[in-house]
Every structure is written in structure tokens, then in C-alpha cells.
Amino acid sequence: MAGPDVRLTAWVHGHVQGVGFRWWTRSRALELGLTGYAANRPDGRVQVVAQGPREHCQRLLELLQGGSTPGRVDTVVADWAVATEPIDGFTER
């Protein structure tokens, strides 16, 4: 039996703005059935918030770290929490 949905917040550092990174992340998240968003931050990072089954969020995190993303990912800092508020769809912000 699956546990409660989780919320992954990933801070992606590197050359990840202006290279299609948010679009790519949204596509992967939708393929995994996740909800959330990918947002450019003023300091050059992209913040990814994804909600759904832990194994699907873990797979998205692996993809973010995997080297096949647009641009260049230097590091990903991940924070895990229990999903409390529902999010509709997966958007680019």
C-alpha cells in the first residue's frame, strides 16, 4: 500500500535559467503524474516543488541530478515534507 503523498522541494543550482530547464522539468513531472511547479529564482537557481507518491518524486529528483537536463546542473539541494496543501497541475513560474 502506498503511503501519503510527499512534497519535494528541490533547489537546482547551475546554469539552469534561459535554457528550457523549467519546461523540461514540467514535462518529466507530468510523465510521472506529479503536481507542482518549477520557478526561476532571482539568484539564478530554479526552485522545483513536486507532490505525489514518494517513489515518483524520488525519480524526478534523480532526473534533476542525472546530467541529461538542459543547461548545466551543479548541485541539487532537496527537502522532503508531507504534502499538506493540494497543488493543481504542474506549472512553470
Annotation says 40 is catalytic: yes
**Side chain identity at residue 22, one-letter code:** R
Catalytic residue among 7, 26, 28, 40: 40
Q: Which of 22, 26, 45, 59 is catalytic?
A: 22
Instruction: Reply yes or no on whether 28 is catalytic.
Output: no
The label of the residue with cell 503523498 reads 5
* Strand-pair category, 90-92 with 35-40: parallel
Helix (H) or strand (E) holding 35: strand 35-40
Q: Which amino acids are annotated catalytic?
A: 22, 40
